[in-house]
Structure 1
Amino acid sequence: MLFDDPVFGSRVLTLLTLSFHIIYATIGVGVPLMIMIAHWVGIKKKDEHYLLMAKRWARGFAVTVAVGVVTGTAIGLQLSLLWPNFMELAGNIIALPLFLEVFAFFFEAIFLGIYAYTGDRFEDKRKHFLLLIPVVLGAAASGLFITVLNAFMNSPQGFDIVNGQLTNVNPIAAMFTPAMPTKVSHVLATSFMTAAFMLASIAAYKILKGSNHIYHKKSLYMTMKIGLVFSIAAALIGDFSGKYLAEYQPEKLAAAEWHFETEEGAPLLMYGILDDEGEVKYELKIPYGLSILANGNPNSVVIGLDQFPEEETPPLIIHYFFDLMVTIGGFMVVLSLVYWIGMKRAWSFVKSNWYRWLIVLGGPLSFLAIEAGWWMAEVGRQPWILRGIMTIEEAATSSDYVGLMVILFATLYLFLGIGTIVVLRRMFKNNPVELELEQQEAAQGGETT
């Protein structure tokens, strides 16, 4: 059978779970800030449309949080079931951020519930706004702590292994690894970026489907501006990430760039294919680009795959993941920048249907870029699960039931994905913006009377 090899089955199930969970994790980290910004703009401008945005986004966000709990729990379960040897070692070193991530999530969820169900009880919207501060901090902290674990896997420290025994464990040092700053900042920036473009995509779609309500136009304009800011931030942090890889994980950078031989003034390769002889064809070559990305110096030396044993070379497929991530990121920067300038200068084409369809496409594309980034990060660390210390084969379970687990969890994710779409669609279809605004106006009129 396909999953007779427990190592292969464990890798497939982990890939499936992470790929599904990252959708909800990205929403979980990014959307609270969007809610907070909308609420703040509503208070500042005394505009009920922005306050309603915050209210509706919070309502939909609560659904994704519930599903995220299930997928997050699945990851925790699978770490122990599929990678027991890894958890036996790493659990003694890096358990602290795992505990803190759970605490941060509950901190976020508690205040989100209070915010979502007490809006009508606050006459002063500024006091209601204060409830969002712990929601945003909890969401960001949750993303931070779980990313700390991933950073530890890429640059493990804070312990020694002497004669096969774990000694000198320092949980704080294990959290603050060289990989942590760039990984955490990149995860947060891309989460905020993706959440903004997701909401912009929804607003553009509603306009294309015939809604001419100012609510959707305000939502589109605000979220595209936010998306522009964080897409630029993600690009800048991506540059720092390249420099981190050059110093600490040069084999991953070399594999991502199909950089086979160490050289100075190395070009950056985008796209292309590898032929049977290992030669690159049809690539886009940017002179000195890789040396600039790696060291900020066009004449610097960049280490190639020729400096690493073949068994420690990451899969070369990560080149395509890198290309996909960078291409989509660049597209979203240009798309949002042109939209912002076009709205300022009254360029008519940014209000055209074809441009709005590009914005609609930008939402799913942003999630695809997130997926590609994580695939590059995880596949690019192989053959290691804990770089330089433990390989995938050494960490995996030897259970014969991994294949059955793949089927069961795949079925669960299918139902969760479909269920999320159905619930959100019914929630907002049965309670459109126009109806909520009418109800608000009627309620305010009744209070005045």
Structure 2
Amino acid sequence: MLDPLLLIAGAADFVSPMARVALGDDPAGLLPARQQMALSLGWHIILACFGVAFPAMIFVMHLIGIRRNDSDALLLARKWAKVSAVLFAIGAVSGTVLSFEMGLLWPGLMGTYGDVLGLPFAFEGLAFFVEAIFLGIYLYGWDRMPPKQHLLMVLPMAVTGVLGTFCVIAVNAWMNAPVGFDLVDGEVRNVQPWAVLLNPDALWQFLHMWVAAYMVAGFTIASVYAVGMLRGRRDRAHRLGFSLAFGFASVSAVLQPLIGHLLGSRLSETQPAKLAAFELATETESPSPLRLGGLLIDGEVRWSIDIPYLGSLIARNSLTEPVEGLSSFPVQDRPPVNITHLAFQSMVGIGTLLMVAAVVFWVARWRRHDLLVHRWFLRFAAGSGVLAVVAMEAGWIATEVGRQPWIVYGFMRTPEAAGENSGLWWLLGATAVVYTLMTAGAVVVLRSMARRWRSGEIDLPSPYGPEAQRPHGTGAPEPEEVQR
């Protein structure tokens, strides 16, 4: 399940929001609402990646086990399904929290555009319930269903994960490029729900997030097996688990730059101010350079490395077309430049590093050189999951902070969507406590599962109830058991 990624970077401007709240210019609920959404969505999106990508990985591992009669692969599929269930349960809790937060934190948005956003959110909810149903069937079906029929139970999980992702990403894409309604005297009229769901940016933004989900899930799972191999557990199951997860992540890492480029090339038309912040372009230059690093301080770019022509080539697919500079936009319509620029470059830099590492690994394997015997590579692989998460979070920070000061681009500014409830700070504190407890609980449960699996236990023994096998084959309890 993937919920609305609306304001994942709540601290969109480190100074001015706090200053404006202090002066009374913005609603009292604006700053706590920003921080609440940053916490909730930044935390939930990690779990959402596993909901999107894990079912496909489980399907492939299970298929390998059936076709090759591979007990290691079947055992891994069974373990992965249980891990997926734990993550799904926690994600359901955080997703429910987000459902309430949308109306509570942003009454102006939902009050005005609720009818516009209703259809995609409804479809996402249906997709979530179907995914939950088939996850339960798949978990229960081990040793109870015919192998091929049992395997097919994974497919609805994978499909509904993709559909749910598309629906919510379509909402976010609509917020960046609103379509499908008329605004008459401040009221929304003539809503076209399907135009909202299938808006022009939805496909590319969905592909970008979908591939990112496979990178996060793939590299994170591979990192777990890399840590195990660093600790001496170099059995076939560890190598198989690493290879399959790293394979999914590798394909995604190679595809992501192309998808990101195609998505970013639309910004010059849809959100030129965001593109200017990405490129740290203060003035319109032809051709525009590519600026690596750097900060905008007192209106001047400092500490950047400028590469001529590459800015125009990457952003505009031309050697001469300029990137429109920030000076072309009113000050009040410019996004927070430094955080947008640094987040964007962090995403690109980490993504490039992971892509190179993936290519090196598979080229070395093709040349019959096993990098898994080298501790330096295993150390990098052990950290690749964290790197993938950081890259994904940085990408969403760049996307959402770069849209500021708009929550619905060109139609509604973020302060207009917030309410006057200053008590939201208490909600933020409570949410932080709940998420901390859920994180700790997830870590405890997953570590406990891993310890049992290493000791040879696959299923947790039941502390009560009938035993799996009874004497004499009757299934009835013995007299001694009745007395106990």
Normalising by structure 2, we get a TM-score of 0.87
Counterparts of 1:426 and 1:16, CA distance in 2 = 27
In structure 2, stretches of 5+ residues that fail to align are: 1-17, 23-27, 462-467, 469-484
Counterparts of 1:42 and 1:244, CA distance in 2 = 43
SS of 1:417 mapped into structure 2: helix
CA deviation string 1:146-192 (max 9, x = no partner): 11111111111100012223211111111222221111111111101
The alignment's C-alpha RMSD in Å is 1.9
Residue of structure 2 aligned with 1:225, choices 247, 252, 265: 247
2:199 is the alignment partner of 1:185: no
State the Cα distance separating 1:400 from its structure 2 match: 2.1
State the Cα distance separating 1:67 from its structure 2 match: 0.8
Letter in 2 for 1:103: L
Match of 1:430 in 2: 452
Match of 1:107 in 2: 130
Match of 1:420 in 2: 442
Counterparts of 1:432 and 1:263, CA distance in 2 = 60
Residue of structure 2 aligned with 1:216, choices 235, 238, 243: 238
> How many pairs align?
436
CA deviation string 1:34-68 (max 9, x = no partner): 11121122223332222222111110010111111
Pick the structure with more helix per residue: 1
2:295 is the alignment partner of 1:281: no
Match of 2:271 in 1: 249
Letter in 1 for 2:336: P
Query: Where do 1:97-136 residues align within 5 Å?
Result: 97-122=120-145, 124-136=146-158
Q: Decide which structure has the larger Cα Rg and report it.
A: 2
Letter in 2 for 1:168: N
State the Cα distance separating 1:297 from its structure 2 match: 1.4
Q: Percent identity?
A: 36
Query: Where do 1:325-336 residues align within 5 Å?
Result: 325-336=347-358
2:324 is the alignment partner of 1:311: no
State the Cα distance separating 1:274 from its structure 2 match: 3.1
CA deviation string 1:187-246 (max 9, x = no partner): 111101211111111111111111121100111122222211111111111001111212
Check whether the contact 1:33–1:192 (CA below 8 A) recurs between aligned residues. Answer: no
2:105 is the alignment partner of 1:82: yes
Relative to 1, partners in 2 of residues 1:111 and 1:348: Cα closer, same or farther, differing over 3 Å? closer
Relative to 1, partners in 2 of residues 1:332 and 1:265: Cα closer, same or farther, differing over 3 Å? same
Relative to 1, partners in 2 of residues 1:428 and 1:348: Cα closer, same or farther, differing over 3 Å? closer
Counterparts of 2:53 and 2:448, CA distance in 1 = 23
Higher mean C-alpha deviation, range 260-269 or range 370-379: 260-269
Check whether the contact 1:203–1:217 (CA below 8 A) recurs between aligned residues. Answer: yes
Match of 2:115 in 1: 92
State the Cα distance separating 1:374 from its structure 2 match: 1.1
Counterparts of 2:307 and 2:150, CA distance in 1 = 51
2:85 is the alignment partner of 1:62: yes
SS of 2:233 mapped into structure 1: coil
Counterparts of 1:37 and 1:114, CA distance in 2 = 18
Match of 1:446 in 2: none
State the Cα distance separating 1:126 from its structure 2 match: 1.9
Match of 2:222 in 1: 200
Counterparts of 1:263 and 1:371, CA distance in 2 = 30
Counterparts of 2:406 and 2:71, CA distance in 1 = 52
SS of 1:265 mapped into structure 2: coil
Check whether the contact 1:34–1:195 (CA below 8 A) recurs between aligned residues. Answer: no
Normalising by structure 1, we get a TM-score of 0.93
Match of 1:45 in 2: 68
Letter in 2 for 1:393: P
State the Cα distance separating 1:269 from its structure 2 match: 1.4
Relative to 1, partners in 2 of residues 1:127 and 1:403: Cα closer, same or farther, differing over 3 Å? same
Match of 2:34 in 1: 11
Counterparts of 2:40 and 2:114, CA distance in 1 = 20
Letter in 2 for 1:412: V
State the Cα distance separating 1:367 from its structure 2 match: 0.8
Match of 1:353 in 2: 375
Check whether the contact 1:343–1:350 (CA below 8 A) recurs between aligned residues. Answer: no
Letter in 1 for 2:190: N
SS of 2:115 mapped into structure 1: coil
Counterparts of 2:450 and 2:196, CA distance in 1 = 44
Relative to 1, partners in 2 of residues 1:225 and 1:366: Cα closer, same or farther, differing over 3 Å? same
Letter in 2 for 1:201: S
Residue of structure 2 aligned with 1:324, choices 320, 332, 346: 346
